Amino acid sequence: MSRSPDRTATRRHFLYQTSAFAWAAAGSRLLAPSAAAGEITHSTPPRRLLKTLKIGMVKVPGDLVAKFTAAKEAGYDGIELNSPGLNIDEVRQAIDRSGLPVDGTVGARHWSVRHSDPDPDVRRQALDDLVQAIQETHAIGGHTTLLVVGHGNDGTEEEVWDRSIDNIRQALPVAAEFGVYIAIENVWNHFCYDHDGPSNQTAEKFVRYVDELNSPWVGMQFDIGNHWKYGNPADWIRQLGRRIVKLDIKGFSRAENNWRDITEDDLPWADVRLALDEINYWGWVAAEVGGGDVPRLATIAKQIDRALNIG
């Protein structure tokens, strides 16, 4: 499929708006990761990406101001909130007092109120939730709302596909009006991959799903660690290409079949970095791991830097 001029233009607009930093071009070749104790060797200069994290990771007492301040102190450039259901005035106050922007939101109920549900009333509520999330995200200065599109248990793959596409499509005019990306995350939801399948699966179904929605305001918030169990994340990045509007990051060990801290896993991080260079990705990367206090959050930020060679 040829590159869409509209998608390219809006992606460029998004990246310029979400960063006050001057980007510097980086080379594209990396050395292969060392097999010794998780060593990662990057052969090119660092790339500047913006680090964010989920609000639920910030385990410090106090109000939003305290949580935003802690995240900024730990080295993050932004924070993601759960929506719908935000107190807009409270969020704006936290942004003003901490100096930390909200770069996006995460669906507050998308696992339980699904676009693929057989019940049309549930799908109608899912659509209302998505529209409200888009509006709230815009109101607090964010640019993405992360969405789990449905669940494979809601029917056949074709039924889940068609219901969710039809429902999400109704929100596209609102996303365009407010300039907020609907960012689809690849998750363990038994959809667009074989949950009991092999470890060499591809992103082909995710590519087709995004392309069927056919909007510059729909893309992938690609989670680098989520499908390492099922396929090589670097290969998926190459397949998804321009469709990736944001990254999530976590660690997973195939050897242990379990989640791990970022870089304390067996993901091919050097190849992931190479793939990001090849698709010329610039933008946000969001941590989605077990959080904690400021020192713990700072450790996670440094792990992201090490995994992706962020300068």
Amino acid identity for residue 277 in this structure? D
In a domain, 19, yes or no: no
Whether 203 is covered by a domain: the verdict is yes
Q: Could you give the percent of the chain with pLDDT greater than 70?
A: 87
CATH number at residue 130: 3.20.20.150
pLDDT at 107: 97
pLDDT of residue 42: 78
pLDDT category, 48, cuts 50, 70, 90? confident
- In the chain, DSSP assigns E strands to 50-53, 79-83, 102-107, 144-147, 181-185, 218-223, 244-249, 251-253, 258-260, 284-287
Q: How many separate domains does the chain show?
A: 1
| Domain assignment of residue 147, yes or no | yes
Residue 197 lies in a domain: yes
For the chain, percent of residues with pLDDT exceeding 90: 84
- Contact between 91 and 81 (Cβ < 8 Å): yes
Give me the pLDDT at residue 38, please: 56
pLDDT tens, residue by residue, 60-113:
999 999 999 999 999 999 999 999 999 999 999 999 999 999 999 999 999 999
Compute the half-sphere exposure of residue 32: CA atoms within 13 Å on the CB side of its CA: 3
pLDDT tens digits, one per residue of 245-304 = 999 999 999 999 999 999 999 999 999 999 999 999 999 999 999 999 999 999 999 999
What is the predicted pLDDT for the residue at 186?
98
In a domain, 25, yes or no: no
pLDDT computed for residue 39 by the predictor: 73
Per-residue buried b or exposed e for 183-210, using 16+ beta carbons within 10 Å of the residue's own CB: bbbbbebbbbbeeeeeeebebebbbebb
**H or E stretch at 159:** helix 157-169
Average pLDDT value for the chain: 89
DSSP 166-182: HHHHTTHHHHHHHT-EE
Q: Which amino acid type is present at position 191?
A: F
Q: For 13-36, how does the pLDDT look when each residue is reduced to its tens digit (9 = 90+)?
A: 444 344 433 333 333 333 333 333
Question: In terms of residue numbers, what domain contains 103?
Answer: 5-13+47-308
Cα separation of 3 and 284, whole Å? 21
What does the pLDDT look like over 137-168, one tens digit per residue?
A: 999 999 999 999 999 999 999 999 999 999 99
Work out the average pLDDT over 212-228.
Answer: 97
Q: What are the angstrom distances between the C-alpha of 11 and each of 57, 233, 304?
A: 28, 22, 23
Q: Is 26 a domain residue?
A: no
Model confidence, pTM: 0.87
pLDDT of 6 > 80? The answer is: no
In a domain, 39, yes or no: no
Residue 42 lies inside a defined structural domain of this protein: no
Length of the chain: 311
Q: At what angle do helices 157-169 and 204-213 cross, to 10 degrees?
A: 30
pLDDT number for residue 209:
98
What is the structure's pLDDT at 269?
96
pLDDT, mean of residues 202-225: 98
Residues in CB range of 73: below 8 A, 6 or more apart: 294, 298
Residue 175 has pLDDT above 50, yes or no: yes
- pLDDT tier at 1, thresholds 50, 70, 90: very low
